[in-house]
Amino acid sequence: METEPLLGFAHVAAAEAATRVFWYRWYVLLVYCLLVTQQGAVWSHWGPISDSVQAAYNWSNATISLLSFWGPITYVACFYPWTLFMRRRSLRSACVVSAAFVALG
């Protein structure tokens, strides 16, 4: 007795045999990982310098917290349009445009 695949995805096994990995996909993945790492470093630097910023600029804790939260706020605001952009273009163009926005910022 032959068992059927879970949820009836018999066509997936045939499609996986024709899959080919290109070297530039690894390059795009590397660039994306470096971009995400850099963004994580940018958004996590407000906590360690909060005492110095409060003394130098007379900012409150709420102002410093808001600066730390701009990353998640812009993510929520831009998630759907960016998903459409990646769907219509490619992952490579999305990474390049993201890197340009990071450099501009």
> What digits encode the pLDDT tens for the residues 48-81?
888 898 999 998 989 888 888 888 888 899 889 9
Q: What's the mean pLDDT in 84-95?
A: 86
DSSP state of 18: T
pTM of the shown model: 0.56
Which one has a higher pLDDT value, 57 or 44?
57
Query: Scanning the structure block, which residue is given the tokens 């110095």?
Result: 52
**Is 10 a residue whose pLDDT tops 60?**
no
Q: What's the mean pLDDT in 18-30?
A: 79
Compute the mean pLDDT over every residue in the chain, rounded to the nearest whole number: 80
CB burial string 53-82: b at 16+ within 10 A, e below: eeeeeeeeeeebeeeeeeeeeeeeeeeeee
Taken as a whole, the chain contains a residue count of: 105
Per-domain residue ranges of the chain: 30-104
